Amino acid sequence: MSYFAEIDKDGIVIRRLVVESDVIDSGTFGDPSNWVQYKHNDLTRRPMGNGYRYDKDNGVFIQPQPYPSWSLDSDFRWQPPKSPPDDEKSILWNEEDGEWEEPSPLAKGNMLTDGFPYL
């Protein structure tokens, strides 16, 4: 079995499948040219999911931009305009203020920790 991501005309991942290559090649799931085979431990070295953008020139999947002020670095990872503090606390990026802040206890209990923006 192999991992495949279906990419739309804008390069966005719209679905993922684990199937044999010949199933994709058969057209069972649409135009085979819209599918990209990937590995979990390839050069992306990070999770990939629906909504990610595929950069075909570099062969990488790019996470959706978490905030308008964040920029993409040369490793295709989003970086905030300010480095997070070095105090090992859980922190949250406040886009409006352009600062890192400690979330409220209520926010901590309800946050998803997918690598951004809650560190």
Predicted pLDDT of residue 48: 77
Question: What is residue 41's predicted lDDT score, i.e. its pLDDT?
Answer: 59
Q: How do residues 3-33 score in pLDDT, each as one tens digit?
A: 999 999 999 999 999 999 999 999 999 999 9
pTM exceeds 0.85:
no
pLDDT higher than 50, residue 76: yes
**CA dihedral in degrees (13, 57, 115, 88; nearest 10)?**
180
Mean pLDDT of the chain: 85
Q: How far apart are CA 60 and CA 38, in angstroms?
A: 9
106 versus 70: the higher-pLDDT residue is: 70
Task: Give the chain's largest Cα–Cα span.
Answer: 53
Higher pLDDT, 48 or 54: 54
